[in-house]
Chain A
Amino acid sequence: DIQMTQSPTSLSASLGDRVTITCRASQSISTYLNWYQQKPGKAPKLLIYAASSLHSGVPSRFSGSGFGTDFTLTISSLQPEDFATYYCQQSYSTSAFGQGTRLEMK
């Protein structure tokens, strides 16, 4: 099974900050990596698929990169609505999610 590890598990940041979240796969998954945003009491929402493709309607301040085992999600300038938990998920084989990164306001 492919394991996904995110870091950090929590992060405090301020409005306007540039934020980067990392996801590491236990084996190479090419670009089969997706990112989701989840707000309290809500279902996750797809942000980025195939490592770097922005899902329809997602603001351009979100971006993703990476290949193989190491991936990043970057928010270029934090907005109030971005404070949430972010999950990576590999779609290379049987779906597995990272443990999540909680982004909190500093």
Chain B
Amino acid sequence: QVRLQESGPGLVKPSQTLSLTCTVSGGSLNSSTYYWSWIRQPAGKGLEWIGRIYTSGTTSYNPSLKSRVSMSVDTSKDQISLKLNSVTAADTAVYYCAGAVARIFYIWGQGIMVTVSS
């Protein structure tokens, strides 16, 4: 059973770069049928898709965040990474990684709370 675990700093200063990692266990990235997405949720609000990455490294980003986002994959470590630069308080949220097929999010990590504050 594939499981996802997000990790990274819980506090990021404004204008800096938010960096998160999602580790896949219970299966390897290379053998998985999923591709991988990041989704975030500000406190008390709805879900926002950030972007996706295939094991090949091909990416697609939400147009509203595209200028600030990058994702990468490390198949040797079974990890997917997210970087969001020039963060502001509006980027404070719980960040989830999720495994998807055809834009259906079948599996989710537990999420990690990231606060942007000085």
Contact = CB atoms under 8 A, between A and B. Distances in A.
Given A43-B109, A43-B110, A45-B108, A97 B102 contact: no
A48 B106 CA distance: 10
Interface residues of B, number: 18
Contacts, number: 47
Contacts of A42: 110
A44 B108 CA distance: 7
Nearest to B62: A94
A64 interface: no
A12 interface: no
B106 A46 contact: yes
A91 interface: yes
Interface in A40-73: 42-46, 49-50, 55
Chain A interface mostly: loop
Nearest to A36: B105
Contacts of A7: none
Given A43-B109, A43-B110, A94-B62, A34 B47 contact: no
23 contacts: A34-B105, A36-B105, A43-B110, A44-B96, A45-B108, A46-B106, A50-B104, A87-B46, A87-B47, A89-B47, A89-B105, A91-B103, A91-B104, A92-B103, A94-B49, A94-B62, A95-B49, A95-B103, A95-B105, A97-B47, A97-B48, A97-B49, A98-B46
Interface of A: 1, 32, 34, 36, 42-46, 49-50, 55, 87, 89, 91-92, 94-100
